[in-house]
Amino acid sequence: MPRQARIKGEYSVYHIIQRGNERKNLFLSDADRLKFIDTLQKTREKYNFAVYAYCLMSNHVHLLIDDNGNDVSAIIKSINISYAQYFNRIYRRCGHLFQDRFRSELINDDGYLLEVSRYIHNNPVKAGIVREPSDYPWSSFNIYLGKDQDIEGLINRTRILRYFSDNELKATKEYIDFVYKGGSEQVNIMDVEETELNDIYHTNYIGTIEEARSVITATVKDCGISYDEFISRIDDRNELMRQVRRNSHLTLRQIGELFGGISESRVSRILNKS
C-alpha cells in the first residue's frame, strides 16, 4: 500500500511524535534521556531549527519545532540515527529502535501552537505519571517555569511567551497558569494513539518477498555483522521474524526461507511465542 505524502511547509512549525519500534521503550534510564536531549541539542546546532517544547515519555517523544527552512524529515532522521546508534551500542542490540515513520502535523495557527505546547507539557499528567506538569523532569516545562536551567539554550521560549505579554515575568506566570488550566476537549490534537489505517501508513509495511529481503539486509547492516552471524543470534532473528510477519502477508514458508531455511512448523512455533 502506498504511503500518504507528508504535509510539509517552508519555514514551518511542526508537532512531531516519534514512537519506539513495536511500541517498545526508547529510554531505559535517565542517562538515556539525557543523551536524547544532548542529541536534540547537537542536531539543533547543526540545522539551526528552533525547539519550542519537548516531552520524553517511556516509549514515545513529543517535539514542537520550527524547521527554520530545513527539511523536517532530515532533522528527525539525524536525531534518530544518532540516538539509535548510542542505544544499540549501550544495550548491545541491533535493528530499528524507532518506528519507521514519525508522525507530524503542520501548525499554521497561533492559537493551536499554544494548545499543542500545553498538551505536550501536560502529557505526563494525562498519562497518570505525575499530578502536575512541573513534577515531571523530562519535559521542557520546568525550563519555562525557571526551575531548570537551559544552559545550552535548547528551548526558544520567546515565541510562546510573547503571546501572553512583552514582560517576561508576566508572560511566564500567565503561560504557567495557561498550562495548569489544561486544554479544551474541543481541541483535536494529534495523539500517540493511532488507528489501524495509520499503523499501515506509519510502519514499515512489507509488500513483497524482495522488500522483506531488503529489510533483513538493512537490519543486518545496522548490526555490523554478517547475515550468518545474525541468523545465529536467535533472539534477534526471532524478533525480526515476528516484525516481518506483522508487517506483511508473507507465508510461513516464505518467512522460513528468508531466515535460513527454517521449516513452516518451526516458524509457526516462533511466531506463537511472540
Give the model confidence (pLDDT) of 64-94 as tens digits: 999 999 999 999 999 999 999 999 999 888 7
pLDDT at 153 over 80: yes
218 and 235 assigned to the same domain: yes
Q: How far apart are CA 14 and CA 41, in angstroms?
A: 17
Tell me what the mean pLDDT of segment 93-105 comes to. 83
Task: For residue 264, give the C-alpha cell.
Answer: 513452516
Answer with the residue of higher pLDDT: 151 or 26: 26
Same domain for 171 and 209?
A: no
Task: Inform me whether the pLDDT recorded for 273 exceeds 60.
Answer: yes
In a domain, 241, yes or no: yes
63 and 84 housed in the same domain? yes
Handedness of CA 188, 190, 191, 195 (dihedral sign): positive
Is residue 1, in this structure, part of any structural domain at all? no
User: Which domain does 221 fall in, by range?
Assistant: 204-272
User: Quick one: pLDDT at residue 172?
Assistant: 95
Side-by-side strand order, sheet with 103-107: 50-56, 60-66, 13-19, 103-107
Whichever domain contains 47, its CATH number is: 3.30.70.1290
The Cα 80–Cα 96 span in angstroms is 10
Contact 180, 133 (CB under 8 A): yes
88 and 177 part of one domain: yes
Report yes or no on 5 lying in a domain. Answer: no
Question: What burial class does residue 111 get, using C-beta atoms within 10 Å of its C-beta: 0-12 exposed, 13-18 middle, 19+ buried?
Answer: exposed
**What pairing do the DSSP bridges indicate for beta strands 103-107 and 50-56?**
unpaired
Please check whether residue 8 lies inside any domain of the structure: no
CA diameter of the chain: 70
Residue type, 148: D
18/48 same-domain check: yes
Provide the domain count of the chain.
Answer: 2
Residue ranges of alpha helices (H) inside 182-232 are: 196-202, 209-223, 227-232
**Identity of the highest mean pLDDT range in 49-53, 85-89, 243-247:** 49-53
The closest alpha carbon to 111, from 189, 35, 216, belongs to: 189
Which of 178, 195, 212 delimits the end of a domain? Answer: 195
Both 265 and 221 in one domain: the answer is yes
- Residue after which a domain boundary falls, among 134, 167, 195: 195
Same domain for 43 and 147, yes or no, is yes
Verify that 61 and 175 share a domain, yes or no.
yes
Same domain, 145 and 236: no
Greater model confidence, 5 or 187: 187
Report yes or no on 151 lying in a domain: yes
Q: Residue 23: is it exposed, middle or buried by C-beta count within 10 angstroms (0-12/13-18/19+)?
A: exposed
Taking 3-state DSSP, the helix, strand and coil percentages for the chain, each rounded to the nearest 5, stand at 50, 10, 35
Contact 144, 174 (CB under 8 A): no
215 pLDDT tier (thresholds 50, 70, 90): confident
Same-domain pairing of 184 and 210:
no
27: in domain:
yes
Residue 3 lies in a domain: no
Q: How far is Cα 135 from Cα 141, in angstroms, rounded to an integer? A: 10
Give the whole-angstrom CA distance, residue 239 versus residue 245: 10
One domain for residues 187 and 216: no
Residue 61 · residue 113 · CB < 8 Å:
no
Last residue of a domain, one of 133, 161, 195: 195
